Chains A and B, each alone.
Chain A
Amino acid sequence: MSILIDRGTRLIVQGITGRDGAFHTRQMLDYGTRVMGGVTPGKGGTEVHGVPVFDSVAEAAAETRANASVIYVPAPFAADAILEAADAGIGLIVCITEGVPVREALAAFHHVAGMRERDGKGRPRLVGPNCPGLISPGVSKVGIVPGTICKTGPVGVVSRSGTLTYEVVHQLTEAGLGQSTCLGIGGDPIVGTSFIDALELFEADPQTRAIALIGEIGGSDEEEAAQFIRRRVKKPVVAFVAGQTAPPGKRMGHAGAIISGGSGTAAEKMAAFEAAGIPVARTPSEIPALIGEALGRRRAPRSRATTKPAPGRKAMAQGASRNGKRRGGSRARTGTRSRSGSARAPRRATRGRSRAG
């Protein structure tokens, strides 16, 4: 299994005749994604890489029974493309486009959220904008994540970034840790799918056994995710936060990556994860080792749990939090649930690197 996309995903590409749309249509076809059609108003009846082009999402959906859409249209028209897909009954809408104004992003978000509430079955769902999309290795990819760096396996990856996600996924793959789904939720201040949404999906996905969460400065999505993990996620999570050296008030590339009014710093976010008992990698290369450790722990703790049947996540997290405070200076800052974790983590990180070869 995987989250959001699987072999049943029937995709249309909005903006298929554009440079990016055409290029990534080819890439997705080569990966095995079932690209059923494309949409460019005024170009209906043509083809791109053998994929039929339609004038509207409604026509494309009716002809192809598509259930997902990926959007590559230019920023001024991207929000309209999201609304068009939603109104055509598309269940999963992935907006790759960068540069959508906040005003339109808000309108699209609330429109889709309202429809989803009425639907009651979680449809439609919006991913992005300003995201790389998602890939379920060996099954399907929707967006621009390079398929070559991924491998099937138990790790769910969710991130606000693009290339940093590839970096982490690549390192996981090299360490022999495959992925269930890698999901980029986007670098804008307003995105359709939050960390919490992704965590909920990964928690329910049987293939996923551990989760790597890659956050960055700006907003409070990571802090909310930390609270959510503490209360609701049983699977182990490893976090990383980019932008520890970012100066306040400066936009670091992503529209959403900005420390404003002194809040949204990496330090706050890392502290929030640690307080929730979530191991925090200090560098991307520590992630595979921490994930490997988490996967090992997931199987092992049955024996440890005998002293305390079905250990409540909350209790463990509180223990770790107290631990974390005492060991504030610990370099690896694992904030791990196992008592000895912090002290041992640097060695594990080393082992992870050597395994990664």
Chain B
Amino acid sequence: MNLHEYQAKELFARFGLPVLPGQVAASPEEARDIAASIGGTVVVKAQVQVGGRGKAGGIQLARTPDEAFHKARQVLALTIKGLPVRRVLVTQAADIARELYLAIVLDRGRKLPLVMLSAEGGMDIEEVARTRPERIVRRPVPLDGIRPFQARSLLKPLLGDGRLVAQAAEVLLKLWRLYHDSDCTLAEINPLAVTADGRVLALDAKVILDDNAEFRHREWTTWRDPEEETPGARMARERGLSYVKLDGDIGCVVNGAGLAMATMDLIKHYGGEPANFLDVGGSSSPEKVTTAIQIITGDAAQGQGIRALLFNIFGGITRCDDVANGIVQALERAPLQVPLVIRLTGTNEEAARKILAAHGLTATTRMDEGVRTAIAKAQEVTA
């Protein structure tokens, strides 16, 4: 789960990291009130989870509460990289002397958390990594954590001044505590600012949480942004299915994540466009299958619609007859408006075919054939 900046800053504050006072607003009026209560110059920041907010006009300075009102109205009207801005963070402005980059990220290759530090703060760090990799210091963190002296020695070359080093080291140690205790896979401060009056501040915050650890963090559910989810995505999450909506017109229901990706790829390979990724899981019950159809058709009803629905099931642990029963039940509940193509192979395949045949449905055994048929049928619908 990716947190919004305002959520990440709440988490930062809880761990004692230096963030400036601020609050999230959903309307220009709220933004004005927050600006008034903070006093002085504020920054109005779009709360969307993409980089390049500043360039897109999503970060604005406001000197008065009225200006905050107007700037918030502007920013709330933006759509940045396809994401409509629904909230703004109104936060105190800082007098920035220097901007650094500081992050702790899971390094999958080393299999350790990694501290990344750069003097080129405020920039797109991926761009820095590509063009000036030598400007980023990387230091793996042993599993027992970072020691204060290590934090200081890491920061000394960048900051020089002992008081700044001490402050920044404190930030790094707290960031590590947050990364560890909150089960993050990324905790990033960009920029970590040094102000003109010698303070070290986290002016932005980006946090990615390890979804697998959600069971021990009850507060995470409150951070989930319902507006960011399609109805289908919400349903998938609540029912425990993996689902990602895409832009194409061929819906696919597949058992297993790898096979689901390969199915999408094969649709594209044969000239079609997948409408989604959907993994119905290893032990697919009829209920899961009906849910899967509801997810795809529900989301499709909102957008451009799908033109064919493809089932690709490799029965191992999944029983093909369970899937067939699910398909039949789903169709009885709500007939499909688009062609249905079924590929089934493996465990209880014969029983599945009988169930389908009794309802006038057929299934192929080959993945390539199923995909090509689905594309052909989708094209017929178009024509």
Residues of A whose CB lies within 8 Å of any CB of B are 75-76, 99-103, 106-107, 109-110, 144-146, 148-149, 159-167, 170, 187, 189-190, 214, 216-221, 224, 240, 242-247, 250-257, 261-262, 266, 282-285, 353
Contacts and interface: CB of A to CB of B under 8 A. Distances in A.
A274 B111 CA distance: 26
A246 B257 contact: no
Interface string B280-318: 001000000000000000000000000000000011111
B345 A163 contact: no
A249 to B, nearest CB: 8
B367 A167 contact: yes
A284 B262 contact: yes
Interface string B250-274: 0000111111111011111100001
A161 B368 contact: no
Interface in B316-340: 316-318
B376 to A, nearest CB: 17
16 contacts: A76-B215, A101-B210, A109-B111, A159-B258, A163-B255, A170-B345, A190-B111, A240-B262, A242-B262, A245-B261, A250-B244, A253-B260, A254-B257, A257-B261, A282-B269, A285-B368
Contacts of B255: 163
Contacts of B185: 102, 189
A146 B256 CA distance: 14
Contacts of A266: 265
B264 A246 contact: yes
B126 A75 contact: no
B265 A164 contact: no
Interface in B126-148: 126, 129, 143
B265 A106 contact: no
B257 A257 contact: yes
Given A103-B213, A244-B265, A254 B111 contact: no
B39 to A, nearest CB: 37
Nearest to A331: B269
A9 B125 CA distance: 49
A261 B208 CA distance: 12
A99 B214 CA distance: 10
A255 B317 CA distance: 20
A247 B108 contact: no
Interface of B: 106, 108-109, 111-112, 125-126, 129, 143, 180, 183, 185, 210-213, 215-216, 242, 244, 246, 254-262, 264-269, 274, 277, 279, 282, 314-318, 345-347, 366-368
Contact of B212 (A75, A162, A167, A224): A75
A282 B368 CA distance: 12
Contacts of B143: 106-107, 110
A272 to B, nearest CB: 13
Given A163-B258, A284-B262, 11 more contacts: A103-B213, A106-B143, A144-B317, A162-B257, A170-B314, A221-B108, A251-B244, A252-B260, A252-B277, A253-B261, A255-B211
Nearest to A219: B108
Contact of B257 (A240, A244, A252, A353): A252
Contacts of A216: 258, 261
A164 B109 contact: no
Contacts of A224: 109
A149 B258 CA distance: 17
A164 B256 contact: yes
A164 B269 CA distance: 17
Given A162-B256, A189-B106, A102 B347 contact: no
Most chain B CB atoms below 10 A, which of A100, A163, A217, A244: A163
A257 B213 CA distance: 17
Contact of B265 (A159, A166, A245): A245
Nearest to B347: A146
A166 B316 contact: yes
Given A100-B212, A110-B111, A243-B265, A253 B183 contact: no
Nearest to A190: B111
Most chain A CB atoms below 10 A, which of B108, B254, B266: B108
Contact of A106 (B111, B242, B314, B368): B111
B316 A214 contact: no
B257 A102 contact: no
A103 B261 contact: no
Contacts of B111: 106, 109-110, 190
Contacts of A242: 258, 261-262, 265
A76 B214 CA distance: 10
A159 B257 CA distance: 12
Contact of A164 (B212, B259, B277): B259
A252 B212 contact: no
A72 B75 CA distance: 50
A102 B346 CA distance: 33
Contact of A254 (B180, B258, B315, B346): B258
B185 to A, nearest CB: 6
B317 A251 contact: no
A256 to B, nearest CB: 7
Contacts of B244: 246-247, 250-252
A242 B242 CA distance: 16
Contacts of A166: 256, 259, 314, 316, 346
A165 B216 CA distance: 32
Nearest to A240: B262
Nearest to A215: B258
B261 A102 contact: no
Contacts of A252: 242, 244, 257, 260-261, 277
B279 A245 contact: no
A257 B143 CA distance: 24
B242 A253 contact: yes
B106 A102 contact: yes
